[in-house]
């Protein structure tokens, strides 16, 4: 039993992972921020819709989760909860304006 516990390692306190053109910042294995180009977004950050997808232009939202992109999948990795919405919507960086 002791061998199994010692073989398990803790994730690093902070790390940056490059994945499909997006740099993910992790703390203890949990994604807390993402960067694509000059845009960086963090969990808990307020964003504004640019009207490209679902939410009307100018709508406010809150980033509630950032998912890790994976092969052959879209880059809708930002989960945003829009004002007056029932749940979060998966969005891309290009669908948002940052505040």
β-strand partners of 48 = 60, 97
Q: Kindly list the domain boundaries of the chain, sorted by start residue.
A: 2-98
Tokens of 90: 């998966």
Q: Which pTM does this prediction carry? A: 0.79
Q: Which of 42-51, 59-68, 85-94 has the lowest mean pLDDT?
A: 85-94
pLDDT per position as a tens digit, 1-60: 455 555 567 777 889 988 888 899 999 889 999 999 888 999 999 999 888 877 888 899
How far is C-alpha 54 from the geometric centre of its chain's CA atoms? 18
Higher pLDDT, 71 or 16: 16
């Amino acid at each position: 039993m002791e061998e199994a516990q010692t073989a398990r390692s803790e994730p690093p306190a902070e790390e940056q992972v490059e994945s499909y053109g997006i740099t993910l910042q992790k703390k203890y294995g949990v994604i807390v921020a993402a960067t694509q180009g000059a845009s960086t977004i963090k969990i808990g950050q307020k964003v504004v819709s640019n009207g490209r997808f679902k939410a009307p232009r100018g709508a406010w939202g809150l980033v509630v989760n950032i998912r890790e992109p994976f092969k052959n999948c879209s880059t809708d990795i930002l989960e945003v909860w829009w004002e007056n919405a029932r749940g979060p919507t998966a969005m891309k960086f290009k669908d948002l304006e940052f505040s």
